[in-house]
Amino acid sequence: MSTEKPGTPPKSELAGTETLDRGNTNAKLQALDEFRSDATGQALRTNQGVKISDNQNTLKVGSRGPSLLEDFIMREKITHFDHERIPERIVHARGTGAHGYFQTYEDHSALSKAAFLRIPEHKTPVFARFSTVQGPRGSGDTVRDVRGFAVKFFTEEGNFDLVGNNMPVFFIQDAIKFPDFVHAVKPEPHNEIPTGGSAHDTFWDFVSLVPESAHMVVWAMSDRAIPKSLRAMQGFGVHTFRLINTEGKSSFVKFHWRPKVGTCSLVWDEAQKLAGKDTDYHRRDLWEAIESGDYPEWELGVQIVAEEDEHTFDFDLLDPTKIIPEELVPITPLGKMVLNRNPDNFFAEVEQVAFCPGHIVPGIDFTNDPLLQGRLFSYTDTQISRLGGPNFHEIPINRPVAPNHNNQRDAQHRTVIDKGRAAYEPNSIDGGWPKETPAGPTDGGFETYYERIDANKVRERSESFGDHFSQATLFFNSMSHHEKEHIIAAYSFELGKVEREHIRARQVNEILANIDLELAKRVAQNLGLPAPTKGTVPVRETSVKKSPALSQVNLLSGDIKTRKVAILAANGVDGAAIDALKKALEAEGAHAKLLGPTSAPVTTADGKTLPVDASMEGMPSIAFDAVFIPGGKASVEALSGDGVALHYVLEAYKHLKAIAVASDVKPLLDLLKLEADAGLIVGADAKAFKAFFAAIAQHRVWEREPKAKAIPA
């Protein structure tokens, strides 16, 4: 008797049904083919099917004029791009932030009528967000990448957002190319690899075909792309802006943030290890610095160019791939920013903060930089998508301290309950309120700078934007020897990951050869390619050949404030030496952590018990700026027989960090075959500490690098 339920087909019929299902599946897949798209041999078109004649330039009023809202090609392209990811940011997804204040040094009325730059007694609240560009929220902090540096000023006249990077230039000159650049640098679409890195074919294919990227790429291949900490990064507004003074006079400016602790970076091996051992290294460092009272501080300065001097340089002020060398225009300090409070809720503050370059206040205005012009549209459009509608300004972290009354009511996530019957202007029902405020020298309504534009509508690039290599050459020539070596190594590493040889060869022959022939030859040699003998474009003569301000060697603070020193100890350690170092470090504003073989306390030679901050495995050498090993016979013997401790010292040595050891620790150095140098000091007295601290202040012992490379990892 059959045990099958009534109505169940026989097994033979079930088998036939399975075959039929597979057939239907294949048929469905074939039917879906009409939705698959292969662009090979096809014309570039808009989403509405219109053929595109120029995908390189936004529609502008003249080649150097403002971009036009009527450019439906640019708006469609960027609108689609703005909405490609939800809910995390498309770029700058991995970030962290903190609260603080900005305080102007003096009354800068002669430069700008912005109130926060005029009243030294006022502390303007700020929120700063730092980020990596390429990777998603779960990627590592220390990958080779550009870092975002965005600051929201909650001024009494409204919010001002200075949205920049830790590099002063960008990859492209026109916003219409931004979706192309980001699509190229993001993980490749077929396998979503690599995460948080640019060592892949699509990125290098794009930049090798877009010479305007050459300057930014050499910055990205430098140590600037692997900062030591967020606290040790410079920041830049990238674009040229306008400041308008109380008399209505305009000046062109470039914004600069300079960190008080100096500017320095990780070494490449260190950055890679930190990405694995402490993905949150940068955000942890910022958080802990603020919690411990080591409040990060930056000075805000500007390079000022009088409007009548706009065309006096051998580059175009509106070109976002160019800097103004400080030899031509020095930086004028305006004030300082101090970050002194961590967020209470990461999502509510760091994730929901919405920056837009279009958020400005009276006294600040835009230029016709075509990359900036596109960003003014794009950022607001993106925030509407990310944060669920046009009311993102009502989220607490985005709310201005100034009142914001207008007739923009309703829409998603409205939290304000508007009173009154008139949601229009002018009106007589509600007494005409809210009303316009006339423009004035101070405290007036916003007034756009009165700039005369007389030009044809065109879709073209200004000829003054045509030099793509001279400033890349300037940057490379301004580097120290070790910085140049790191750039060569970075290009070699990144291009070594590129699968297609023609892309590698194009980057070497058509980009690097036009920056510096020695750079191109060295990279070609490392990639097994023929070395180029000449560039492909004429060398452009420039007024500045080297700029010391571009080298991080010249950007150190000169002290060791907030630096971290690891003290390695085992049972039998000299406790007095530990106390002496801690007191000396404290006097310099630096910090020490006591590390043992395990997390258990260690016993000093005189029988005292010392709690340790962590084990050596728990806080590896890559988390510290320097290492100290106090004496004590039993402790030295224990460390000399401990593989973790020996690796700790060797790794710090290879990463060129300052190391100080007591005299009786010399046998441990002999065991590792390490010789004393300017940063490897033997001795534990005051004189040795002075030399030790001087070495820490230099950030790395660069003269050790060739010797350290010869030691096996």
Instruction: Report the catalytic residues.
Output: 92, 165
CB 383 within 8 A of CB 392: yes
Determine which helix (DSSP H) or strand (DSSP E) holds 609, and give its type and residue range.
strand 609-610
SS3 370: helix
Measuring CA to CA, which residue among 471, 469, 472, 486 is closest to residue 522? Answer: 486
CB 117 within 8 A of CB 244: no
φ/ψ of residue 653, rounded to 5 = -65, -45
Q: Measured between alpha carbons, how far is residue 643 from residues 241, 285, 566, 671, 680 in Å?
A: 56, 27, 17, 12, 20
Q: Which two tokens stand for residue 588?
A: 């310099």
Question: Is 75 a known ligand-binding residue?
Answer: no
Question: Is 377 a known ligand-binding residue?
Answer: no
- Dist CA 118 CA 125 (whole Å): 15
In whole angstroms, what separates CA 583 from the centre of its chain?
A: 35
CB 198 within 8 A of CB 134: yes
Determine which helix (DSSP H) or strand (DSSP E) holds 216, and give its type and residue range.
helix 214-220
- Contacts of residues 579-586 at CB distance under 8 Å and 24 or more positions apart, as own/partner, are 580/684, 580/689, 581/628, 581/630, 581/684, 581/689, 584/686, 584/689, 584/693, 585/560
Give the Cα-Cα-Cα angle 211, 214, 215 (nearest 5 degrees).
135
- Dist CA 39 CA 33 (whole Å): 14
CB 616 within 8 A of CB 631: no
Q: Which two tokens stand for residue 305?
A: 């160019």
Determine which helix (DSSP H) or strand (DSSP E) holds 124, and give its type and residue range.
strand 124-132
CB 368 within 8 A of CB 173: no
* Count of all residues that appear for the chain in the document: 713
Q: Measured between alpha carbons, how far is residue 309 from residues 314, 315, 464, 504, 663 in Å?
A: 12, 12, 15, 41, 62
Question: Is 129 a known ligand-binding residue?
Answer: yes
Question: Is 147 a known ligand-binding residue?
Answer: no
- Dist CA 352 CA 327 (whole Å): 40
- Dist CA 140 CA 95 (whole Å): 10
Measuring CA to CA, which residue among 406, 446, 379 is closest to residue 162? Answer: 379
SS3 484: helix
Question: Is 89 a known ligand-binding residue?
Answer: yes
Residue list for the binding site for heme: 89, 129, 178, 375, 379, 386
Enumerate the known binding-site residues: 89, 129, 178, 375, 379, 386
